[in-house]
Structure formats: structure tokens, C-alpha cells
């Protein structure tokens, strides 16, 4: 999961996916992490508002710490899921040609459609953080369905 600073959208997506994979009995077959395209907040916990909104829905983000995308991420992971078009473009610039197929937007997996990106919640106030959760939950459910159809994949 990749956003710009790794303190709101991508840690939210990581937390939601972890919880939903555990509920689906798939936690041990998928490696999950989140990162930022910029190293603005390395080592910091997710934004307090992200944590609070996630906690209200039963997701714990408190143990996560921000990190920047590493070059080895393009090898380690089968999918690198960007939260928006800008994050995707930054990943595409950095990604080796052989790994470009691994780059997607998280919302490509959404079962509900309606949004191509997970918007930055800071511009929407409290409602923005809830909107992020709504979008991420729908996309994670679709991603889990995709993963269930692709045995042996991480």
C-alpha cells in the first residue's frame, strides 16, 4: 500500500487489509506493508485522526510506523498498490521495467466502483477520514476476492 507520506491512507489500507485477511483465514499467505513515496514522516505513527477513525471500526493502526518505498519493494511484493494517480506515477518512474506489471491503484480492486482513487483525507475533515475507510474497505474486499482466485500468490 503506497501513498505520499505513509501516515494516513496507506496505513489505513494496511490495517484494514490485515484485519480482513485474518477474518478470511488468509493472513498467513499474504505479506502486507505500507510505505510512502516521500520520506516526510519516516518512523512516525499514523496520523492520530486516521488511528481514531480506524479504531472506531475495529482496526488498530497504532503499531505501524511510516517508511519510504525501498527499491527492494519492487522485488519483495507481487503488488504495489497506489492510493492515487500521483503515487502511481511516482512508483512507475522508480520501478524497474520488469516489475511495472506489479503496479496498480488499490481502487482497481473495489467492488463498489465510484472512485478511481483514495483521496487525501486532510481536505475533507472528519468526513474525509471516514470516506477513506469506506473506499479502502470496499477495495480490500475486492482485493481479497482477487487473491482467493490466485492461489500461490502473495
Residue 126 has what pLDDT?
84
Please state the rounded mean pLDDT for residues 20-34.
Answer: 95
Per CATH, the homologous superfamily of domain 2-148 is Response regulator (3.40.50.2300)
**Mean of the per-residue pLDDT values for the chain?**
94
Residue 12 has what pLDDT?
98
Residue 139 has what pLDDT?
97
Residue 112 has what pLDDT?
84
Q: For this structure, is 9 an active site residue? A: yes
- Write the DSSP assignment of the chain as a string of letters: -EESSSSSHHHHHHHHHHHHHHHTT-GGG-----EESS-TTTTPPPPHHHHHHHHHTT---TT----B--TTHHHH-S-EEESSHHHHHHHHHHS-GGGGGGEEEGGGG-SS-S-SS---GGGSHHHHHHHHHHHHHHHHHHHHHHHHTSTT--
Query: Among the options 86, 120, 130, 134, which is catalytic?
Result: 120
pLDDT tens digits, 68-77? 999 999 999 9
Query: Among the options 8, 9, 33, 141, which is catalytic?
Result: 9
If one compares 74 and 150, the residue with the highest pLDDT of the two is 74
Residue 152 has what pLDDT?
62
Percent of the residues in the chain that have a pLDDT greater than 90, as a whole number:
89
Query: Among the options 3, 8, 95, 140, which is catalytic?
Result: 3
Q: For this structure, is 18 an active site residue? A: no
Q: Give the N- to C-terminal CA distance of the chain in Å, as an integer.
A: 14
Q: For this structure, is 8 an active site residue? A: no
- The domain segmentation of the chain, as residue ranges, is 2-148
Amino acid at each position: 500500500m503506497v501513498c505520499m507520506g505513509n501516515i494516513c491512507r496507506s496505513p489505513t489500507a494496511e490495517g484494514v487489509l490485515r484485519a480482513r485477511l485474518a477474518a478470511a483465514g488468509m493472513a498467513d499467505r499474504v505479506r502486507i506493508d505500507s510505505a510512502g513515496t516521500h520520506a516526510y514522516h519516516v518512523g512516525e505513527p499514523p496520523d492520530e485522526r486516521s488511528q481514531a477513525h480506524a479504531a472506531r471500526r475495529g482496526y488498530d493502526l497504532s503499531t505501524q510506523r511510516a517508511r519510504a518505498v525501498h527499491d527492494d519493494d519492487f522485488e519483495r511484493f507481487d503488488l504495489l498498490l497506489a492510493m492515487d494517480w500521483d503515487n502511481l506515477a511516482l512508483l512507475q518512474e522508480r520501478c524497474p521495467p520488469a516489475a511495472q506489471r506489479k503496479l496498480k491503484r488499490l481502487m482497481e480492486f473495489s467492488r463498489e466502483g465510484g472512485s478511481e482513487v483514495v483521496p487525501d483525507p486532510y481536505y475533507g475533515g472528519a468526513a474525509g477520514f471516514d470516506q477513506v475507510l469506506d473506499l479502502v474497505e470496499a477495495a480490500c474486499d475486492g482485493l481479497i476476492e482477487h487473491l482467493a482466485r490466485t492461489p500461490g500468490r502473495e
